[in-house]
Amino acid sequence: MQSVAAYGELRLITEIKRWLGNVSPKTPFGIGDDCAVIPPTKRHQLVTTDPVIYGQHFDDTVRPQDVGAKLLKRNLSDIAAMGGRPVAAVISLALAPETDIAWLKKFYLGLAATARAHHVRIVGGDITQGPAGFIGAFLTLHGESTGKRVITRTGASAGDHIYVTGNLGGSLAGHHYNFAPRLAEGRWLAGRSEVRAMMDVSDGIAKDLDSLTTRGLKASLNAATIPVSRAAQLLAKKTQRTALEHALCDGEDFELLIVVRQRADISRFERAWKKRFPRVPLSRIGHFVSGKKLLTGALNLSAYRGYEHLR
């Protein structure tokens, strides 16, 4: 009697509206119409989408409220990587008929709390029946630019510096859902003329760096400057892999990977960062070089592999 099948679609939608509270505005600006209406703005519009799926992005060890929070936060991280501000989201659910109502309520309460903290409105979505044992939640997040420019992944040149925020690796110890999207940091970086390109780290920098690397360039990284997390160090003792490998490959770090112009005053840039974000580490981990050969002592990234879907 406490499954979604016992409630049915219409009652479940009514309950979802109640669980979301003031995060979900009234129709037509929220749940209840064929489409939600998002007021127009003169800024660049940003759209991203990411799911959480049982057995892939979470399991029974993760509290349902943390699953709901993760769903929104992994999308917020994409908005942060463009230097944007989140606005509104729609969420679609594919649920096995036996999905527990109490679990789903806590999921939505976690989602609502995160949305409230980041001023995001949940404005619509859809519910469909999934196969036995399946829980999937799919969120599309709309955002907008906060200034004149939107930071993309393109534009790196030879000599440009590579930075990363925070610490890397060992995300399965809890960081994969218990993290803070770098929204304020992304907005600040988008306003800095030194910054040429940026992305968030979701699949491990061993893979994600490829998306920032212009054809004809290579990323030359110094192993000693990679900010390895304590969780990666502890995990390495159990897996017989190095902590550095975990830092490069684990993924779901949700930190920012940043390209800074070669001619920038990096000392001034780093001082400005430390003044603005004193609690968030910023590490210069290398630079881009032209040609096919790496510099002596540089990490051979081809020996590492980040997370790749469908492999």
Instruction: For residue range 183-204, list pLDDT tens digits in order.
Output: 999 999 999 999 999 999 999 9
pLDDT at 77: 98
Instruction: For residue range 57-116, list pLDDT tens digits in order.
Output: 999 999 999 999 999 999 999 999 999 999 999 999 999 999 999 999 999 999 999 999
Which residues of the chain form CATH 3.90.650.10?
161-302
Decide: 74 and 50 in contact? Cβ < 8 Å. Answer: yes
pLDDT at 200: 97
| 160 CB-near residues (< 8 Å, 6+ apart) | 196, 259, 260, 261, 262, 287, 288
Reply yes or no on domain 4-145 having CATH 3.30.70.2390. no
* Residue 39: pLDDT band with limits 50, 70, 90: confident
pLDDT at 310: 67
Beta-sheet pairing, 282-290 with 217-221? antiparallel
**Is the model's pTM score more than 0.85?**
yes
Lowest mean pLDDT among 17-31, 137-151, 292-306: 292-306
The CATH code belonging to domain 161-302 is 3.90.650.10
Which residues of the chain form CATH 3.30.1330.10?
4-145
